[in-house]
Structure 1
Amino acid sequence: FHIYAQEKILAEAVQQGRFDAEAAGRSSPEAEAVAVELKALATVDEVRAYAEACHKAAANILGSMSEEDLSRPVESPFGTYPAWRYFDFGYDEHWHHRGQLYTYLRLLGKEPPMLYDY
């Protein structure tokens, strides 16, 4: 949930010009605000559809932005960065958590999926 929600939330923050603690909390599976959304993800197909929808939403936002938009500063509790950097943060976040999942799978004696097989 978090990996894909964060991708969409960061893109929406860029679009709005601000990333705040409330937005960050919407990607936390422990947050009460997302309990209903998270509960709806009961099957692998539902999780896959959610991931695809989040990725598509982020891609649509990125695709609609001009070079000027991507250079615009976006505020956050962690500092102010150019808009493009938030897409980079999302990319890093994805690989960070994917690495964690691979580690857990290996600890369970499972072979992780091919690296670029989503």
Structure 2
Amino acid sequence: NRLDISDMTARRYLQELADKDLLVRVHGGAEKLRSGSLLANERSNIEKQGLQIAEKQEIAKFAGHLVEERETIFIGPGTTLEFFARELPIDNIRVVTNSLPVFIILNERKLTDLILIGGN
């Protein structure tokens, strides 16, 4: 260990740098952001949650009315879709998602037919 720190401390430091958008986490470590990359200017999820709230709520309410009983829907990641998860009627529907925040919102709302899928 060249830095004389624990693996857990290294992971925590890497996460702090990722939270500040100074690097991007990858399996087994981290990579430097390229100055011209889209990720270099990407806002954090927390920042995006506070942007255009009224518009996201309006989209979420409209989309919520499109879902009918006994449907299976997929909800991907994104802050607008997190608002949608809060507005979604949860009676007699199945939701499949790859978004942990969406999963948490729907689980807290007691949606009984909820599937979280994994990936890389």
Tell me the TM-score normalized by structure 2: 0.28
Which is higher, the Rg of structure 1 or of structure 2?
Answer: 2
Bigger share in helix: 1
- As a proportion of its length, which structure holds more strand? 2
Q: TM-score, normalised by structure 1?
A: 0.29
